[in-house]
Amino acid sequence: MAAALARRGAAALQRSSLLTSCNFLIHENLCIRTRVLWKQPPSRTFFSDRKKFHTAPVGQAFRLRPFHVLVATGGGYAGYRKYEDYKVEQLEKKGIELPVKLASEWEVALYKSVPTRLLSRAWGRLNQVELPTWLRKPVYSLYIWTFGVNMKEAAVEDLHHYRNLSEFFRRKLKPQARPVCCLHSVISPSDGKILNFGQVKNCEVEQVKGVTYSLESFLGPRISTEDLHFREASPGNSFQQQLVTKEGNELYHCVIYLAPGDYHCFHSPTDWKVSHRRHFPGSLMSVNPGVARWIKELFCHNERVVLTGDWKHGFFSLTAVGATNVGSIRIYFDQDLHTNSPFYSKGSYNDFSFVSNNNKEGIPMRKGEHLGEFNLGSTIVLIFEAPKDFKFHLKAGQKIRFGEALGSL
């Protein structure tokens, strides 16, 4: 009897230890599987026509990175702004004037997050790729249809002549296509649309009606009088007053927007001498009228090349402002100028003087003479000194062509 009880107790003890061991193994297995599932998301298996397909784990298949988020949000917002600009243009055509609504700081920062400089360099390289002869006519014809290009004015109308997009953008015109006005002292340096013009007031310049930018931020610190042959200004004078060199004169400005379909070269607007070049690296945001109405000091944010000198009435400057896909700004007589570099310091600029011991006068330019070119449409800003009786012969928003009169005395 005692032996039977002993055997039953041993069997019960064995069953209990076996259950404990099984529970321990199950617990360990669950822990291990939990850790594996936490570290590596499960893959999914699908069957299609008796074939098995395995998808990658979710974490490996799609992994968000900050750069992707910035590009997606910035690009999406830029597209939204393009749509808003289109609606504004349609309302303007109907004669409806809208109140100015400026972008906030975060909107400007978001727009700047789009890698427009990188995109512009990629676009520049794409423009240099030689197109097959059979592909040139369809590609250029699409561009002509989209932007309303008048090829009858081109020196070479045959589309097969242009080996790449860059040559097509920089096409020359027939000599008689743009007669230069000889009766007025200042002519339009390019084809385009007049965004704004008038006198500079309180050191502020209007990029479009109601939206201004700082004159000093745009041109940078005043250039030495040795380069420009100007008289010394009084220390207490404002930046605007320092630029005016003759008593009784005023400072004037004119902003011309070049659309993608316009003639891309720009010329000298008057007889003057270029003494100095200042290059501001910067952003390459769009400069179309809708964006110019939206972002305050847009031209001060963007990359630009400022040419300064003097004409018969005093100070004269021409500034070529870069834009999206227009990182390349070329000045024909300035071989040292290189724009849209991969790296630059924010707020920096570099100066170059054309006045030297061998050349005391700088670079003389005749009215209508070739001065430079853009890779695509952009903006030209003229800021110059003239007597008080100088009059513009313009209307805001009008289309103008190179060689036509801007104003005269």
Token duo for residue 136: 């040139």
Distance between CA atoms of residues 178 and 265, nearest Å: 12
Residue from 85, 120, 191, 275 carrying the catalytic annotation: 191
DSSP 149-206: --GGGBS---GGG--SHHHHHTPPBPGGGSPPPSSSSEE-SSSEEEEEEEE-BTTEEE
**404 and 190 Cβ atoms separated by less than 8 Å:** no
Residue from 185, 317, 328, 378 carrying the catalytic annotation: 378
271: annotated active-site residue: no
Place of tokens 């084809």: 191
Distance between CA atoms of residues 80 and 85, nearest Å: 9
Residue from 253, 264, 267, 301 carrying the catalytic annotation: 267
253: annotated active-site residue: no
191: annotated active-site residue: yes
Helix axes 105-112, 66-93, angle to 10 degrees: 110
C-alpha distance across the termini of the chain, in Å = 135
Dihedral of CA 31/34/38/40: which sign?
Answer: positive
Beta-carbon neighbour count of residue 154 at 10 Å? 19
Place of tokens 């949000």: 73
Nearest in space to 194 (alpha carbons), one of 268, 147, 255: 255
Contacts 24+ apart (CB under 8 A), 63-72: 70/113, 70/114, 71/113, 71/114, 71/115
Coil, strand, or helix at residue 33?
helix
Nearest in space to 329 (alpha carbons), one of 262, 364, 400, 280: 280
Active site residues: 191, 267, 378
